[in-house]
């Protein structure tokens, strides 16, 4: 069900005419008619007012009812996605904090007590391998090899 259909359904369930809904929203009944026909759309602030007047959450106007528990499932998926994004964000921040010295050392910005910058970079990459996925690890190995190649050629 699309937004115009959901708007019509919400209005009817609230037992409001297009004219009455428009009056409560401070718009014309014609505006409501245009929204329900899909010829125009309300601004987001107006959508929040529509939700309040009809007693529906804003998300209801956009979620599918085709599956049982569609709204609850969508909320659950959104929550799981947010948790995963927070986890990945924290992981990225930890990786950034650990990789900053590696990149600096490879660029010759930070002196290291190891016999060579490449040994230090290799040790650092080995320590990080457990935390990085295989693709990210390979990218770092390639970066270290490229840095080594450029010092041998140059």
Q: According to CATH, what is the number of the domain 3-61?
A: 1.10.260.40
**pLDDT digit string (tens) for 46-72?**
888 999 999 998 877 876 555 556 666
> What backbone torsions phi and psi does residue 110 show, to the nearest 5 degrees?
-130, 120
CA torsion, ordered 45, 46, 47, 53, to nearest 10 deg:
120
* Residue 137 confidence (pLDDT) above 60: no
pLDDT per position as a tens digit, 24-41: 999 999 999 999 999 998
Alpha carbons 108 and 121: distance in angstroms, whole number: 12
* Listed residue (48, 49, 43, 1) closest to 22, CA to CA: 49
Domain edges within the chain: 3-61, 70-153
pTM of the model: 0.44
């Amino acid at each position: 069900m699309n937004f115009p259909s959901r708007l019509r359904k919400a209005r009817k369930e609230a037992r409001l005419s297009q004219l009455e809904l428009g009056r409560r929203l401070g718009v014309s009944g014609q505006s409501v008619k245009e929204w329900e026909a899909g010829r125009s759309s309300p601004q987001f602030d107006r959508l929040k007012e529509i939700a309040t007047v009809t007693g529906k959450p804003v998300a209801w106007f956009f979620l599918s009812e085709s599956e049982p528990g569609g709204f609850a499932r969508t909320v659950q998926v959104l929550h799981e996605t947010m948790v995963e994004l927070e986890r990945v964000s924290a992981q990225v921040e930890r990786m950034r904090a650990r990789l900053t010295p590696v990149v600096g050392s490879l660029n010759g910005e930070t002196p290291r007590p190891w016999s060579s910058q490449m040994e230090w970079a290799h040790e650092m990459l080995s320590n990080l391998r457990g935390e990085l996925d295989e693709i990210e690890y390979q990218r770092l190995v390639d970066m270290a090899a490229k840095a080594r190649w450029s010092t041998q050629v140059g």
